[in-house]
Amino acid sequence: MITVEGLSKRFGNTVAIDDLHFSVQPGRVTGFLGPNGSGKSTTLRCMVDLDHPQSGNVTFSGKHYRQIEDPIRTIGVLLDASYVHPGRSARHHLEYLAVSNHLDRQRVNEVLALVGLTDVAHRRVKTFSLGMKQRLGLAATMLGDPEVIILDEPANGLDPEGIRWMRDMLQYLAGQGRAVLVSSHQLSEMALMAEDLVVIGRGRLIAHESAADFIARHTTTRIRVRSPQIGVIVRAVQERGGDASMLSETADTDGALVTGMSMIDVGELAHGNKAVVHELLEVTDSLEDAFLAVTREDQEYRSGSSS
């Protein structure tokens, strides 16, 4: 388990993280979400003792990173897939890491196979695509078969298929009981990957809850219904205390957006009123819009309170 307590880090006058508290549980993927520049990478660097915070603590089952012997056997971290010497082969990159932490070189073959890079392992990294480097980075984090996996924006540079691969891999690893912390600036990506969310904006914690709860709280689900008798349906919805607004777009059939009722209720209402239904659909706000709204609120609140 990872525990972050009161972590603060400034670079000169820039406050990168401000009194951050959260914890990461084993056995699940925790998404670390925030817009660009919100302090995710800085937090992760502080976790593994690369950056020195002005105050606060990060512990892994009670231990500081620097107290852990051969740390890559306990904590696998991928900060940036481009942190490889372009002139070195993928295999040699993994080998020097393995050797430094007393790992068997056979592990290098295993992790290469795990991420599907066996055939290109002898090639110099400068010939790799960003997606291949992300796979190499994941291989490096898996070298020590760690209990904790920390990844900074691992989906960057991956195509949709690569993102699905990454998601399946992370969920598989979490399923084995590991704690997985993965950062992203895209809620939609996190919605697919993570069960828990730690959301930050401008270095401060905004939310720490399950992904489902966060999405439910910050998005509204509406029911879109199209019918030749749309007026009947709208009236029935309003009588039941729901809210309905007509759709102004041009379509073959008139439609309305209903809030405050489930799709089943709307369908049954239509049936009860003998209205023909051409379309009945749940529509959810784009997750990005919701996320932007949340982080914007937070930023406005803070700039308002500080002046």
Partner 1 sequence: MKAIIASEWLKARTVRSHWVLLIIAMMFPLIISTLVGIFNPDPQFVSYREVVSIVASSGAFSLLLLSSLWVINLTSEFTHGTIRVTYAAVPARWKVIVAKAVIGTLVTAVVMSVLFWLNFGLGAALLNSRGATIIVDGWFDHSFKVFVALVTFAIIVSWFGLGLGVLIKNSPVAIVVVLLWPLIIESLIALAFALSGYESAWKWMPYQTAFQEIDGPSGVDSALSRPWGHLYFAAFVIVVGIIGVVVDRRRDA
Ligand X SMILES: Nc1ncnc2c1ncn2[C@@H]1O[C@H](COP(=O)(O)OP(=O)(O)O)[C@@H](O)[C@H]1O
- What is the pattern of x (binds Mg ion, CB under 5 A) and - over residues 34-73? -------x--------------------------------
74 lies in the binding site for ligand X (CB under 6 A): no
- As to burial, measured by CB atoms within 10 angstroms (0-12 exposed, 13-18 middle, 19+ buried), residue 139 is buried
184 lies in the binding site for ligand X (CB under 6 A): no
- The one of ligand X, Mg ion, partner 1, none whose footprint includes residue 199, by CB under 5 to 8 A per kind, is none
CB proximity list for 186: less than 8 A, separation 6 or greater: 155, 288
* C-alpha span between 277 and 151 (Å, rounded): 47
Answer for which of 22, 24, 39, 142 binds ligand X (CB under 6 A) is 39
- The one of Mg ion, ligand X, partner 1, none whose footprint includes residue 37, by CB under 5 to 8 A per kind, is ligand X
* C-alpha span between 206 and 300 (Å, rounded): 13
Residues in 244-283 that interact with ligand X by CB under 6 A:
none
Residues in 81-110 that interact with partner 1 by CB under 8 A:
82-89, 92, 95-97, 99-102
Rounded (to 5) percent helix, strand, coil in the chain: 40, 25, 30
Q: By three-state DSSP, how is residue 109 classified?
A: helix
Q: What is the DSSP string of 230-280?
A: HHHHHHHHHHTT-EEEE--S--SS-EEEEESS-HHHHHHHHHHTT---SEE
287 lies in the binding site for partner 1 (CB under 8 A): no
| Closer Cβ to partner 1, 47 or 287, answer by number | 47
Residues in 41-60 that interact with ligand X by CB under 6 A:
41-42
CB proximity list for 153: less than 8 A, separation 6 or greater: 40, 41, 183, 184, 185
Q: What does the block give as tokens for 172?
A: 């598989």
Minimum CB–partner distance for residue 34 and ligand X (Å): 5
Cβ count within 10 A of residue 162: 18
- The one of ligand X, Mg ion, partner 1, none whose footprint includes residue 71, by CB under 5 to 8 A per kind, is partner 1
| Closer Cβ to partner 1, 73 or 224, answer by number | 73
What letter would DSSP give residue 150? E
Cβ count within 10 A of residue 69: 9
34 lies in the binding site for ligand X (CB under 6 A): yes
| Closer Cβ to ligand X, 36 or 305, answer by number | 36
Which residues sit opposite 30 in a β-bridge?
181, 196
Tell me how many residues contact ligand X (CB under 6 A): 11
Minimum CB–partner distance for residue 34 and Mg ion (Å): 9
134 lies in the binding site for Mg ion (CB under 5 A): no
Minimum CB–partner distance for residue 102 and partner 1 (Å): 5
- Given the rule CB under 8 A, which residues bind partner 1? 45, 48-52, 65-66, 71-72, 77, 79-80, 82-89, 92, 95-97, 99-102, 140
